[in-house]
Amino acid sequence: MPYALKSARFLAAPLALLLVKIALVGGPDTALAAGLSAPKSLSVPASPITPVAVFETDRRTLLDTARKPLSAYIGTLRSGTGGPVCTAFCLKEDVIATASHCLFGTSAAKGPNLDRIEFSTADAPGIASPIAGSRIGLASHNVVSGTRALNIAPPIDAANDWAIARLAKPVCHAGGLALHQPAGEPAGAGTRNLYQVAMHRDLPDTQLRADGPCPLVNDMPDARADLIARDFTDTAAILFHRCDTGPGSSGSPMLVEGQTGWEVAGINIGTYVISHAVVGARAGDEPTGSTPIANTAISADRFADALSRFEANNLVETQQEISSLAEALKQRGHYRHRIPQRMTRQLQRAILSFEASAGWPATGQPTRSLLTVLTGQASHQTTGSLPLFVTSARLLRRLPGPR
């Protein structure tokens, strides 16, 4: 399938990261537009889908007995009635992880409407949850990610293609998968065998498929180390692997057998290919072909700290709280519009205005801590992580101590 360079007549064009997700949300198919061809071992569906990488024999199989329990932790992101978008997996009962481009698209293609995104696990596809806050315009505030506009032109910002989202309902009934963290080493470091479990759109999307063990790829003859360093912003955070992937597998977990059972070593994001052009070809000629070198994943240690910070989130959750927040900001002169029941850009600007006037860090986040302070139910000094306000120094009377 993937062919090697056989003649000096061919040169390597700049390497590119093929993001399976782009075409799934109706965005432009940048990979096909660049003249890249799909591996012959997979037929391209009628809908525009970027090439995927199946190395030699397609090893994607239904979950066996040992891996069947993973269907309670791994599932599918869907966009309304538009069908499957990407794979995602549970980190907690109401928190999932996926690839950032699955939710926000890329610098070249807009992502889906977050208010319409829903997640369900593979073992309970009829029980789905939207992202928390989607009914009041706060879906994007309930997602933390490495980027919201993934750069897909070299140097590719693949190391930031991760996202963690809070769900409106705890549909991850089995809890979450643990992140793999060998003592003293980054996640994935020293790991030689990985397993991938994902939804694939070129196969029945109602069933998860697994591949592995598949080794990390350290030796890529068609891609020198200096070229890889040129084409990616942070190669240390990327796991190059050859688990077989298909469209829709973006956001799926790369798994290892750890001390707690199956653990997440990374998030699968796309395929790394090299394209070829004839020496002396006229300007504007399309590349003559492409070779998938490896699939790519982000090491779990890239987003482990973000998960712990994300757990402290205390955003408002109801229309009444949004309205109360806007009313309180209006009374203080920061909001001059109609009182909304959903988060709006005007309300976010009002929050930023208040934060600036109070000397707080700029977040624009509609939190319950902020609402509590604005409505006078707590002082600045006693509310959560809000900053202290000191108007004057206090002098304490020193009492005489025992002689």
Which whole number is the average pLDDT over 273-284?
56
DSSP letters of 71-130? GGTEEEEEETTS-EEEEEEEEETTEEEE-HHHHHBBSSSB---GGGEEEEETT-TT--EE
What size, in residues, is the chain? Answer: 403
Q: Is residue 93 included in any domain, yes or no?
A: yes
Is 397 domain-assigned? no
The reported pLDDT for the residue numbered 191 is: 53
Q: What is the pLDDT of residues 86-137, one digit of tens each?
A: 999 999 999 999 999 999 998 888 888 999 999 999 999 999 999 999 988 8
Return the closest-CA partner of residue 277 out of 268, 288, 266. 288
pLDDT confidence bin for 154, thresholds 50/70/90: confident
pLDDT score for 143 = 92
Mean pLDDT of the residues in the chain? 75
Query: Residue 338 above 60 pLDDT?
Result: yes
In a domain, 399, yes or no: no
Residues 123 and 249 in one domain: yes
Residue with tokens 């309930």: 142
Q: Which of 232, 367, 249, 385 is nearest to 313 (CA)?
A: 367
Contacts with 208 (C-beta within 8 Å, 6 or more apart), sequence order: 62, 63, 70, 71, 74, 122, 197, 198, 199
CA angle 273, 241, 159 (to 5 degrees): 75
- 142 inside domain: yes
The neighbouring-strand residues paired with 11 are 277
Of 260, 13, 21, nearest to 163 by C-alpha is: 21
Q: State the greatest distance between any 2 C-alpha atoms of the chain, in Å, as a whole number.
A: 97
Tell me whether residue 289 is in a domain.
yes
Taking only the tens place, the pLDDT of each residue in 195-218 is: 999 998 888 767 899 998 988 887
Residues 284 and 344 in one domain: no
CA angle at 165 for the pair 69 and 85, rounded to the nearest 5°: 70
Compute the average pLDDT of residues 23-34.
Answer: 28
- What tens digit of pLDDT does each residue of 248-270 get? 899 999 999 888 889 999 999 98
**50 and 193, same domain (yes or no):** yes
Position 401 scores a pLDDT of 43
CA of 48: how far to CAs of 26, 31, 206, 251, 370, in Å? Answer: 9, 10, 20, 19, 45
Above 70 in pLDDT, residue 281?
no
> Does residue 164 surpass a pLDDT of 80?
yes
> What local confidence, expressed as pLDDT, does residue 215 receive?
80
CATH code for position 75: 2.40.10.10
Taking CA atoms, 356 is separated from 47, 67, 347, 350, 351, in Å, by 48, 51, 14, 10, 9
Structural domains counted in the chain: 2
Q: What is the per-residue burial (b if ≥16 Cβ within 10 Å, else e) of 198-212? A: bbbbbbebeebbbbb
Angle, CA 222 vertex, CA 282 and CA 294 arms, to 5°: 110
Q: Are residues 59 and 90 in the same domain?
A: yes
294: in domain: yes
Strand-pair partners of 256: 263
| Residues 172 and 226 occupy one common structural domain | yes
Task: Encode pLDDT of 38-82 as tens digits.
Answer: 233 322 233 223 335 777 778 888 998 889 999 999 999 999 877
Judge if 169 and 261 occupy the same domain: yes
Same domain? 180 vs 261: yes
Q: Note whether residue 112 is domain-resident.
A: yes
Asked if residue 286 and residue 351 are part of one domain, the reply reads no
Of 256, 282, 310, the residue at which a domain comes to its end is: 310
pLDDT digits (tens, 9 = 90+) for 347-363: 999 999 999 998 988 88
- Would 349 be classed as within a structural domain? yes
* pLDDT for res 271: 84
163: three-class secondary structure by DSSP: strand
Question: What pTM, to 2 d.p., does this model score?
Answer: 0.72
Residue with tokens 């982000």, as numbered in its chain = 298
Check whether 194 has a pLDDT greater than 70.
yes
Q: Which domain holds residue 327?
A: 319-382
Task: With a cut of 90, say whether residue 183 has pLDDT above it.
Answer: no
Residues 348 and 234 in one domain: no
Highest mean pLDDT among 68-77, 147-156, 387-396: 68-77
Output the pLDDT for position 10.
Answer: 20
Do 190 and 339 fall within a single domain? no
Note whether 325 and 259 are same-domain residues: no
pLDDT band at 156 (very low <50, low <70, confident <90, very high): confident
DSSP 8-state symbol, 326: H
